[in-house]
Amino acid sequence: MKKPNDIILHAVTKVAVPIILAFSFHLFFSGHHNPGGGFIGGLAIASALTLLFLAFDIETVRANIGVDFKVVAAIGVLLAVLTGVGSFFFDAPFLSHTFDYFNLPIFGKTELATAVLFDIGVALAVIGTSVTTILSISEDR
């Protein structure tokens, strides 16, 4: 039997994965004023990781991305809870959020909201859950 040769799939994946990751970061950061947000951004990142797992194999991707995705999901939930707890230190109810305008070096006047921290937690939980599900289904056949 001839050895399978996936060179076209590998080349397309190497070009497409950075584009999908950039698009998912755009979706994540546009969530405050436009359609998007933590959930769909995390799902787009998970689809990029799924494409990597499809084109290559589990051991190659694990050797290059040394992240345990169960830990990623746990860190996401912990971050989302801690942003809620953090509002206690400012005499505010649970999950109160605030925002302010800052002058950043490159971006100029930018609105920074603490809701982004909660959204990062949501995105990490979604990435960890979906990738863990896909990997644990494909583990044994």
Residues of this chain that bind other proteins (CB under 8 A): 3-4, 6, 9, 16, 20, 23, 27, 30, 34-36, 40, 44, 47, 50-51, 53-60, 134-135, 138-139, 141
> What is the rounded CA–CA span in Å between residue 38 and residue 116?
9
Looking at the Cβ atoms of 50 and 132, the one nearer to other proteins is 50
CA 64 to chain centre: 17
Looking at the Cβ atoms of 23 and 77, the one nearer to other proteins is 23
Q: Which two tokens stand for residue 119?
A: 């959204």
Q: Nearest distance from residue 65's CB to other proteins, in Å? A: 14
Looking at the Cβ atoms of 38 and 83, the one nearer to other proteins is 38
Q: Nearest distance from residue 20's CB to other proteins, in Å? A: 6
State residue 94 phi and psi, 5-degree precision: -60, 140
- What angle separates helix 115-138 from helix 38-55, to the nearest 10 degrees? 30
> What is the rounded CA–CA span in Å between residue 56 and residue 80?
32
Looking at the Cβ atoms of 23 and 74, the one nearer to other proteins is 23
Instruction: Determine the residue type at 11.
Output: A
